[in-house]
């Protein structure tokens, strides 16, 4: 990455990190996706069970394979060919792991996390995990405020995920949010985490380069 862009990205994630810390979150800032993977691995014991929500970021940084290679028991529902019942069972198991790994659809410069789910398993686990929640997000997820965060979640993250999964929803075709009641609608559960949830050990890792959707 160009040093000038890296400098600006660092400033942006540091601004968000300052507010997140003020709101009770533990925050780690890094330059690269590789550094984010290593920082997360240091937070997870080798005998911990790890649940992974639906996240391109988590898979993009390579931590899923690193955890499995290290011997951690990893639970996730992105297995090709599984049945609907198996999918639901895995999503529920993710909630009960020692550590839950996810990304965020948007993180505001005001220090809030904005997320929109279809099923709600990811946002539920983030807010009230059995053990530790670790959220990893690239600089592309940083937005000005809550309004921008909701816009990004609907018009970027939801549209990209709907298109990737070929869901029956307008945004996966048009590339923008159209208020709908489509069967494949992703925007069903919206959470705004304004402060660290009072019963959850919560760490946010911010990356000074883009990652995920």
In angstroms, the first-to-last Cα distance of the chain is: 19
Domain 3-143+194-207 matching CATH 3.40.50.10420: the answer reads yes
* pLDDT of the residue at 178: 87
In angstroms, the CA 132 to CA 102 distance is 11
State the average pLDDT over residues 69-92.
94
Based on the number of CB atoms within 10 Å of its own CB, is 71 exposed (0-12), middle (13-18) or buried (19 or more)?
Answer: exposed
Q: How far is CA 157 from CA 1, 114, 123, 124, in A?
A: 23, 11, 14, 18
Query: Is the pLDDT confidence value at 66 over 80?
Result: yes
What pLDDT, on a 0 to 100 scale, did the predictor assign at position 105? 97
Asked whether residue 130 carries a pLDDT value surpassing 80, the answer given is no
Helix (H, G, I), strand (E, B) or coil at 127: helix
Taking the C-alpha atoms of residue 125 and residue 93, their distance in angstroms, rounded to an integer, is 10
- Residue 182, Cα to own-chain centre: how many angstroms? 24
More confident position, 184 or 145: 145
Q: What is the spatial distance between Cα 152 and Cα 15, in angstroms, rounded to a whole number?
A: 19
Question: Residue 173: enclosing H or E segment and its boundaries?
Answer: helix 171-174
**Summary mean pLDDT of the chain:** 94
Q: Contact 97/50 with Cβ under 8 angstroms?
A: yes
If pLDDT is split at 50, 70 and 90, which confidence band does 167 have?
Answer: confident
* φ, ψ dihedrals at 187, nearest 5°: -80, 85
Q: Give 93-113 pLDDT, tens digit per residue.
A: 999 999 999 999 999 999 999
SS3 content of the chain, % helix, strand, coil (to 5): 40, 20, 35
Interval 178-184 mean pLDDT: 88
Q: Does pLDDT of 168 surpass 90?
A: no
The C-alpha atoms of residue 141 and residue 153 are separated, in whole angstroms, by: 9
Residue 1 binned pLDDT confidence (cut-offs 50, 70, 90): confident
Predicted local distance difference test score (pLDDT) of residue 72: 97
Instruction: Between 197 and 160, name the one with better pLDDT.
Output: 197
Q: In 10 A of CB 66, how many CB atoms?
A: 16
Tens of pLDDT, residues 11-35: 999 999 999 999 999 999 999 999 9
């Amino acid at each position: 990455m160009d040093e000038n862009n890296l400098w600006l990205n660092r400033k942006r994630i540091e601004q968000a990190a300052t507010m997140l810390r003020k709101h009770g979150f533990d925050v780690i800032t890094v330059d690269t996706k590789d550094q984010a993977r290593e920082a997360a691995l240091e937070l997870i014991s080798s005998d911990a069970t790890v649940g992974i929500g639906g996240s391109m970021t988590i898979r993009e940084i390579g931590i899923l394979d690193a955890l499995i290679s290290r011997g951690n028991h990893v639970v996730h529902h992105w297995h090709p060919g599984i049945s609907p019942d198996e999918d639901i069972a895995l999503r529920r198991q993710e909630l009960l792991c020692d550590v839950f790994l996810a990304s965020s659809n948007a993180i505001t410069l005001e220090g809030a996390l904005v997320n929109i789910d279809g099923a709600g398993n990811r946002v539920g686990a983030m807010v009230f995990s059995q053990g530790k929640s670790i959220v990893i997000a690239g600089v592309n997820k940083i937005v000005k405020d809550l309004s921008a965060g909701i816009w990004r979640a609907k018009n970027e993250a939801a549209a990209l995920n709907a298109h990737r999964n070929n869901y029956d929803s307008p945004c996966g075709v048009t590339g923008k949010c159209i208020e709908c009641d489509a069967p494949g609608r992703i925007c069903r559960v919206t959470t705004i985490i304004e402060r660290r949830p009072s019963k959850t050990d919560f760490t946010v890792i911010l990356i000074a380069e883009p990652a995920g959707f």
